[in-house]
């Protein structure tokens, strides 16, 4: 049975010029340029936070995911305590991305959702790594725990009102 046809991945039509997050910006020195955005947007661009957090971001096994999510959640709390909303939001995005990426590896073998060789048709679901489901759940809980922190929610609302 051929893979199911779905809409093509959004990254194929990506317009870098319209993207709110820019490489080459130091978002610690210029936090006013940071936008909360939607979901995980900007997570792999916003420096120096990306480099600080990505070194700890892993989900290969549940044991590794537990250690990673604990470390990133601690970074989230530390950024908040320092009054660094951008750092806290980036840590929250990495927790969210731990969930979404682990789910992708749960659902599709090798994490490959689209079949590039067949006009980006959706690959067969359910062929991935079942161990990643537990890793995804670990990150999901940490992500939701971060979003439930009242101080973070307040700062996020204030940030959106002031900067977007």
For residue 100, count other CB atoms closer than 10 A to its CB: 14
| 150, part of any domain | yes
| 62, part of any domain | yes
Residue 92 has pLDDT above 90, yes or no: yes
Provide the residue range defining the domain that includes 127.
41-162
| 121, part of any domain | yes
Whole-number Å distance between alpha carbons of 155 and 164: 12
Confidence at 115, pLDDT banded by 50, 70, 90 = low
With 0-12 / 13-18 / 19 or more C-beta atoms within 10 angstroms meaning exposed / middle / buried, residue 34 is: buried
For residue 99, count other CB atoms closer than 10 A to its CB: 23
Whole-number Å distance between alpha carbons of 88 and 80: 6
| 105, part of any domain | yes
Whole-number Å distance between alpha carbons of 1 and 25: 47
Report pLDDT for 131.
85
Instruction: Give the global pTM.
Output: 0.83
- C-beta separation of 128 from 105 below 8 A: yes
Report pLDDT for 120.
65
| 10, part of any domain | no
Total domains present in the chain:
1
Report pLDDT for 129.
76
Structure tokens at 8: 């093509």
| 63, part of any domain | yes
| 11, part of any domain | no
| 103, part of any domain | yes
With 0-12 / 13-18 / 19 or more C-beta atoms within 10 angstroms meaning exposed / middle / buried, residue 28 is: middle
Report pLDDT for 1.
45
Assign 121 to helix, strand or coil: strand
Assign 15 to helix, strand or coil: coil
């Amino acid at each position: 049975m051929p893979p199911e046809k779905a809409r093509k991945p959004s990254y194929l039509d990506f317009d870098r010029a319209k993207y709110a997050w820019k490489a080459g910006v130091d978002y610690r020195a210029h936090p006013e340029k940071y936008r909360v955005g939607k979901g995980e947007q900007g997570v792999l661009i916003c420096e120096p936070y990306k480099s600080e957090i990505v070194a700890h971001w892993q989900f290969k096994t549940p044991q590794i995911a537990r250690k990673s999510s604990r470390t990133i959640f601690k970074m989230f709390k530390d950024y908040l305590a320092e009054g660094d909303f951008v750092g806290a939001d980036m840590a929250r995005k990495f927790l969210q991305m731990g969930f979404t990426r682990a789910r992708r590896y749960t659902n599709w073998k090798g994490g490959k959702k689209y079949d590039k060789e067949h006009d980006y048709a959706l690959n067969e679901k359910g062929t991935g790594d079942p161990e990643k489901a537990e890793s995804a759940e670990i990150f999901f809980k940490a992500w939701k725990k971060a979003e439930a922190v009242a101080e973070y929610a307040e700062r996020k609302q204030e940030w959106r009102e002031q900067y977007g």
